[in-house]
């Protein structure tokens, strides 16, 4: 079931049927009230209710949650109260209800990842962070979560706006390639802020990545010997030389490839330009 004008259809990421996300349903909200889309609304099939901290109810199948999370399996083994039917909604009476501490949007994104027929749209950084905490809380395997979060590391604007958050998120999810990508955008963040924001092991690894990147760039500079070209072009002005080298290093640190040959290409192109 898709609402008219919604963005349902086939997911470009997975090729699977895609149910509308919260962003698709903004026109169906009243004020700040979250409107539950299919397949989790009251008229959808299901045998239990999950209730968010805002009292938004999601109708789900227990077996999907039990298979995904041992914590949820234990929750369902305990006596549950019954859901109450909301006004103008399909009857929910006599279905067991579990109240969760998470907000409606986080529960919705979680269910999209757990259900086999759906997959969330590109997540925002804060949504991804909330989901990672929920996955830890309920001991859910993180394979599909990693797939959903991966596109964040392909967006330069997202990396520039939230480098530290994305580095820590990748570190906690053991996405080391993505952590290395995010680390390139942390060079302008003060060490004090890094130390406060990161676990010690992640902090030490970040410092090591930054140190090795600096050493690699210095080595490339020594090999390419841009001093002669730049100094001849600038009448031997060492100040301009060092300013331009610093700018080149900043550019190379945030290049999109791990291949150090890309750094060489950056310096090589610049050398040709100043000749």
180 is a domain residue? yes
Task: Provide the domain count of the chain.
Answer: 3
Side-chain half-sphere CA neighbours of 69 within 13 A: 22
Closest CA to 131 of 117, 142, 119: 142
- Structure tokens of 78? 């305990």
pLDDT reported for residue 211: 85
In the numeric block, the tokens 């990545």 are attached to: 209
Residue 115 phi, psi dihedral angles, 5° rounding:
-75, 140
> How much is the pLDDT for 226?
54
Q: Give residue for tokens 């002005």.
A: 237
The β-bridge relationship of strands 17-18 and 48-51 is unpaired
**Alpha carbon 153 to chain centroid distance?**
8
What percent of the chain is predicted at pLDDT more than 90? 51
Does 70 map to a domain? yes
pLDDT in tens, 177-227: 999 999 999 988 998 999 999 999 999 999 998 888 877 777 766 655 555
User: What is the distance between the alpha carbons of residues 167 and 183, in angstroms, rounded to a whole number?
Assistant: 6
Residue 200 and residue 127 share a domain: yes
Model confidence, pTM = 0.70
Does residue 3 lie within any of the structural domains?
no
> What average pLDDT does the chain have?
77
Chain-centre distance of CA 196, in angstroms? 21
Domain that holds residue 39: 9-121
Last residue of a domain, one of 160, 181, 212: 212
**Total residue count of the chain as it appears in this document:** 275
Q: What is the pLDDT of residue 210?
A: 84
Both 116 and 128 in one domain: the answer is: no
| Final residue in a domain of this structure, among 121, 142, 168 | 121
At 6, the pLDDT band (50, 70, 90 cuts) reads very low
| 72 and 85 housed in the same domain | yes
pLDDT at 165 over 60: yes
Instruction: Tell which wins on pLDDT, 201 or 80.
Output: 201
Q: 28 and 42 in one domain?
A: yes
pLDDT-derived band at 46, boundaries 50, 70, 90: very high
pLDDT of res. 7:
40
> Does the pLDDT value for residue 28 go beyond 80?
no
One domain for residues 229 and 272: yes
């Amino acid at each position: 079931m898709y609402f008219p004008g919604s963005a349902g259809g086939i997911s470009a990421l997975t090729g699977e049927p895609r149910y509308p996300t919260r962003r698709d349903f903004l026109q169906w909200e009243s004020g700040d009230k979250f409107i539950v889309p299919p397949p989790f609304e009251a008229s959808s099939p299901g045998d239990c209710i999950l209730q968010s901290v805002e009292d938004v109810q999601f109708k789900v199948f227990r077996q999907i949650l039990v298979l995904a999370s041992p914590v949820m399996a234990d929750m369902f083994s305990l006596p549950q109260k019954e859901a109450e039917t909301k006004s103008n909604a399909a009857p929910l009476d006599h279905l067991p209800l579990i109240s969760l501490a998470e907000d409606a949007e986080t529960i919705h994104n979680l269910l999209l990842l757990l259900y086999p027929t759906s997959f969330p749209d590109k997540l925002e950084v804060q949504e991804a962070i909330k989901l990672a905490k929920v996955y830890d809380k309920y001991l859910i395997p993180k394979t599909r979560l990693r797939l959903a979060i991966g596109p964040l590391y392909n967006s330069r604007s997202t990396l520039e706006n939230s480098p530290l958050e994305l580095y820590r998120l990748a570190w906690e999810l053991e996405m080391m390639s993505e952590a290395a990508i995010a680390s390139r955008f942390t060079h302008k963040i003060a060490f004090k802020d890094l130390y406060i924001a990161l676990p010690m092991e992640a902090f030490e690894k970040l410092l090591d990545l930054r140190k090795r990147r600096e050493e690699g760039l210095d080595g490339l500079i020594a090999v390419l010997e841009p001093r002669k070209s730049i100094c001849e072009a600038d009448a031997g002005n060492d100040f301009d030389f060092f300013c331009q080298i610093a700018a080149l290093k900043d550019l190379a640190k945030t290049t999109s490839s791990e291949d150090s040959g890309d750094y060489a290409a950056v310096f090589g192109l610049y050398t040709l330009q100043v000749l």
